[in-house]
Structure 1
Amino acid sequence: MTELGIPGEPPTNRRERKKQETRAALEQAALRLFAEKGYQQTTVDEIAEAADVAVRTFFRYFSSKQHILFGDVAHQRIAHLRAALAASPPDEPPLETVGGVLDALDLDPDEQEQIILRLRLMERQPSLVSEYLLLNHELREVLGDFVAGRTGLAPTDSYPLLVASAAVTSWDVALRAWSAGTADDSLADLRRRAFAALTAGIPARPGTAQPTSRRVAR
């Protein structure tokens, strides 16, 4: 016997669908208020009220305004990035590992749509750029700590900083070119080409010779 509702549909599926609807309602309400009032001027209470839920419900789904601004796409990517880096072969050159992990974390079409909505919002609300930069800073730290750990260098050494900065910058360049509609290539291809160009002068491992020329992926 099933609960009242759609015949034959498990109660768990209905609960999950309700959660997804609540999360979507909160995101839509937040993005609308950020566009209308500004990010800093919008409170969590106002977001919850606009979505017709209690404030405590907001915090069941999102830890902060920054979390809801960039959505699970960005924040889950950080968690996935940590896991993918940790699971990479320990003897693999760190530069190769970072490039491969970025390939594995490319966005699917739905995730790309979520990201582009937020980029459009940033264009209308320049104050949001600081939140975007904080997110990039977190990504850079995750990557820099990984490279430092694999090479035995300090996270403040130039090699970890260069590799991490190249990875984050490649995403930033690709996202901006792709969202502007000025490139025919896919977001993934743009990111790969940018990463290859930015790391063309970085050796696979610190202290090793770098070939005089390196083909940029197309």
Structure 2
Amino acid sequence: MAVVQPGDQMSRRERRRHEIHQRIIDSAVELFDARGVVDTRIDDICEHADLAQKTFFNHFPTKQHLFGEIAQSFLAHVCSLVEEARKEPAGTGQRIIQIFNRAADVVHHRGPRHRELVQEVARISSTESTDPSRVGSLPEAFHALVLDGLAAGDVTRAQGPLFLTEMIVSAFQGVVMSWAHDEEYELDLHLEEAARFLCRALATDENAVT
């Protein structure tokens, strides 16, 4: 008979907890997309995830805590888009366009109810610090992109990298927030325009985009 070591038991317990945690998030996002945020109750999420309400509250004290984690998940996905773009053999301007276009695909093509969830995500993310030293944050990801551009010589030194990072993050969040609040707002178009505006603003004189 195999002896279960304490470390192995804890590992299984943690894996199980992680699986349940993710199941709650996946169920919530699916229901938010289908019904909307307001019309989805905690009871609905528990039923969809086949979990007791007590289990939900063991992971998320409130619905707002759940929103906060979903917001972090969304922002982590955008950060991964930035990391992917940094590996591309392209200039900083083209990388920003690529990131914004891919982010539009992520946000825009999830269905009309997804707008309500993004509204909550955008509201939560807009209250967070713009400090690029915070690991795993959107400012950190875009700050690394700006530093890459400075090293490559295709980003202006007329303003500091922290200010340039803040402008990129603010432009992205502003467009997504506008889309979340306005059904007529064209997300793809405005993210494209914002990206091209940033290209011109960040470019050196030698690399200016016309």
TM-score normalised per structure 1: 0.52
Matched residue of 2:128: which SS?
Answer: helix
Does the 8 A contact of 2:85 with 2:95 survive in 1? yes
Aligned length: 162
Instruction: Extract unaligned runs of 5+ from structure 1.
Output: 1-16, 37-47
Amino acid at match of 1:117: L
Higher relative contact order (CA closer than 8 Å, sequence separation 6+):
2
Matched residue of 1:208: which SS?
Answer: helix
Amino acid at match of 2:55: D
For residues 22 and 66 of structure 1, what CA distance do their matches in structure 2 show? 11
Counterparts of 1:55-134 in structure 2 under 5 Å?
Answer: 55=58, 58=59, 68-70=69-71, 72-82=73-83, 84-89=84-89, 92-106=90-104, 107=106, 108-110=108-110, 113-114=113-114, 116-120=116-120, 128=124, 132-134=127-129
Matched residue of 2:200: which SS?
Answer: coil
Distance 1:21 1:201, change over 3 A: closer
Give aligned-pair identity as a percent: 9
Matched residue of 2:80: which SS?
Answer: helix
Distance 1:85 1:161, change over 3 A: farther
**1:173 maps onto 2:168 in alignment:** no
Instruction: Extract unaligned runs of 5+ from structure 2.
Output: 1-18, 43-50
Amino acid at match of 2:148: G
**What residue in structure 1 maps to residue 143 of structure 2?**
144
**What residue in structure 1 maps to residue 47 of structure 2?**
none
Amino acid at match of 1:172: Q
Counterparts of 1:187-198 in structure 2 under 5 Å?
Answer: 187-198=187-198
TM-score normalised per structure 2: 0.54
| Structural RMSD (CA) | 4.4
